[in-house]
Chain A
């Protein structure tokens, strides 16, 4: 009796074990032949940019009828696990959008094709790109692994109605100041824009910080290792830099007093009720909450412009980040590029496509679409015009480039490990369970990676 029951139950019982053994990651076939021509696979992660790049692919196909480009788009997380599993299973895309935080590791693993020979043979003009962008893609070994496609900076998106209600004019927001001690006029603005359930503002008596209806400033997360849209626009004005040198630094500076006092100030906004506690932001996206009228200000990147201006019933304005102790603004300057997978079966065709992506022919198309700022300044102007046609003044993003107040995205080895250490450490500080001084210990752990 007993054994019959067991036999009857056992097949069912094995089911969850089988189901549990599921694998992740996918990959498209690396370049097949179709109709005698070559098909190149091209990956990107930003769905907003896909239509513009499809235009590029079509134009490229017209100029090179024997080459077809197939575009695949995946969200950020899936994108990178797809790329790395693709390397291993040899099904990675021929050409893919690459990120500064990822490519050093790919170079170490020998997964990227050096472009030097192609660039030299075809006479690609590297000076046509915005200053510094092309240099970002030269690895420690002196070889070039990508051609710049676009750049981004950060600025303040604000809810224009809330700002007007608070008695501020747009010009006031264009000239904000900030310091880590009292937050300057920037913190005054944030405080005034914060409103509790009873309509009391954050800088008024009787403000209930435990029952806030509108937070002055949005919290996108703790920022991990680079804090691109979280805290880097503040730390960048204090003279602090992420690493000893950039690119290819070998020592991080999270133990620096300037960094820690900035983070302490940033955390104080939560304590004061001007910014939401991080636990309440899990699962929500900061920009969607902005769209729902829960935030007055959001600091975010230029790649988010269309998302912010796409919310119904929200009047959005843009302001540059505040001027800090250095007397200047600061914004991280991040640039994407297109890289070729070393395992591609069609390196020549792939190089042709990458060069096309890095040319005015394609970047003008992307610029006209008005989604991101192309790496070539004349194409970026087209993007500016395209945004302006829709009533969006993108100067707050461009002013950082014009004034030379940008600093480069920190490029080092061990980027994934650095972030794996800094993410929980920063989470703990912003969650209020650890003091900023705990970041010194995390910094030691980070720097041990480079020994």
Chain B
């Protein structure tokens, strides 16, 4: 494929050479027209709100009425806000449990999809939980794991084990929510990883098989190293998404008991829409924004996302 391109390219460039300037300009307009819908969406729904969010973080604002500039007061308050630090700890715990379990399971599923089955039905069914709306998944598990009427606790009870207040106890709330979301997202993550695995040339595996390498050895020596750039991408996306957990908590524990599951996004929502502190909530969002940039940057650097071992 690449050989063909190198042969063809010079000829077409040579043909176009005389009309190059005009062509460029018309291509530019065409390109602009093509990206305009997405660009408009980006400007209106991402860039402008982000900039305005930064501005609001420096104000006191109740949404009704106009914002009052207060400088860095909100950020100073955040530094002394115990609920913020609790919610940060809670969120990080959530992300750790969610990402570790989700990534390990997704790689496992990816390998199975890649090496074991070619059945579209099986591959497709792994994606099923992801096709259900987040809120529905949350409510489904909320019900399954209910202390009194949930089937899981009924099973535990019949086995003679102690019932667990999955969503109600401050110890279990976050692990439960994290694992519910792992269940929903692992199929999708596995699909991304599987797509990455398909870019690894079959010839490498064939060569390894000829040399007598076991599946286990091939996984660690071929799949994992060659998958690294994809894995980084997947991790950056899933970690960022994981930090933004909201709906599952909002429809189940709503932050409780106490503040045991008050994740950052929920705290931001509470402050803004529950208590009308939009300036403070914006400042919290800015803090989350900075955290996410830092985490994504660190991941890219630490895992050398820009390089591939395949070249």
Q: Which residues of A contact B (CB under 8 A)?
A: 1-2, 5-6, 8-9, 12-13, 16-17, 20-21, 24-25, 81, 84-85, 87-88, 105, 109-111, 277-284, 289, 292, 294, 416-417, 420, 423-425, 427-428, 431, 433
Contacts and interface: CB of A to CB of B under 8 A. Distances in A.
A431 B65 contact: no
Complex A-B, nearest 9 residue pairs according to Cβ-Cβ distance, in ascending order: A279-B168, A282-B168, A279-B165, A279-B169, A427-B258, A109-B64, A424-B258, A280-B147, A5-B199
Nearest to A445: B82
A111 to B, nearest CB: 6
Given A2-B310, A16-B241, A427 B256 contact: yes
B229 to A, nearest CB: 6
Contacts of B274: 416, 420
Nearest to A4: B199
Given A416-B274, A431-B170, A280 B148 contact: yes
Interface of B: 45, 62-65, 83, 142-143, 146-149, 163, 165, 167-170, 188, 191-192, 195-196, 199, 229-230, 233-234, 237, 240-241, 244, 252-253, 256-259, 262, 270, 273-276, 308, 310-311
> Which residue, B147, B149, B270, B310, has most C-beta atoms of chain A within 10 A?
B147
Contacts of B244: 20
A84 B276 contact: yes
Contacts of B64: 87-88, 109-111
Given A2-B308, A9-B230, A283-B146, A109 B257 contact: no
A420 B262 CA distance: 12
A interface, over-half SS:
helix
B196 A85 contact: no
Given A87-B64, A111-B64, A431-B258, A8 B168 contact: no
A420 B270 contact: yes
A280 B230 contact: no
Given A105-B276, A283-B142, A13 B165 contact: no
A88 B170 contact: no
A284 B166 CA distance: 13
A284 B146 contact: yes
A21 B147 contact: no
Contacts of A284: 146-149
Contacts, number: 116
A426 B165 CA distance: 19
B199 A1 contact: yes
A284 B148 CA distance: 8
Contacts of B240: 17
Contacts of A427: 256-258
Contact of B229 (A2, A21, A428): A2
Contacts of B45: 21
Nearest to A106: B64
A109 B65 contact: yes
Contacts of A283: 142-143, 146-147, 167-168, 252
Contacts of B229: 2, 6
Contacts of B308: 2
15 contacts: A9-B192, A16-B188, A16-B237, A20-B241, A81-B273, A84-B276, A110-B64, A279-B169, A280-B168, A282-B168, A283-B167, A289-B148, A292-B149, A294-B148, A431-B258
A416 B63 CA distance: 15
Contacts of A25: 273
A21 B258 CA distance: 27
Among A12, A24, A109, A279, the most chain B Cβ lie within 10 Å of the Cβ of A279
Question: Which of A8, A20, A109, A292 neighbours the largest number of chain B CB atoms within 10 Å of its CB?
Answer: A20
Nearest to A13: B237
A13, A85, A433: which has the most chain B beta carbons within 10 Å? A13
B172 to A, nearest CB: 8
Contacts of A279: 147, 165, 168-170, 257
B257 A5 contact: no
Contacts of B253: 282
A5 B230 contact: yes
Contact of B273 (A84, A289, A431): A84
Nearest to B271: A420
Contacts of A281: 147, 168
Given A5-B195, A85-B273, A13 B233 contact: yes
Nearest to A3: B308
Contact of B259 (A1, A12, A81, A424): A424
Nearest to B244: A20
Given A12-B195, A87-B63, 16 more contacts: A9-B233, A16-B188, A17-B237, A25-B273, A84-B273, A84-B276, A110-B64, A280-B168, A282-B257, A283-B147, A283-B167, A284-B149, A420-B275, A424-B258, A431-B257, A433-B258
A416 B275 contact: yes
A283 to B, nearest CB: 5
B276 A416 contact: yes
A417 B272 CA distance: 11
A425 B258 CA distance: 7
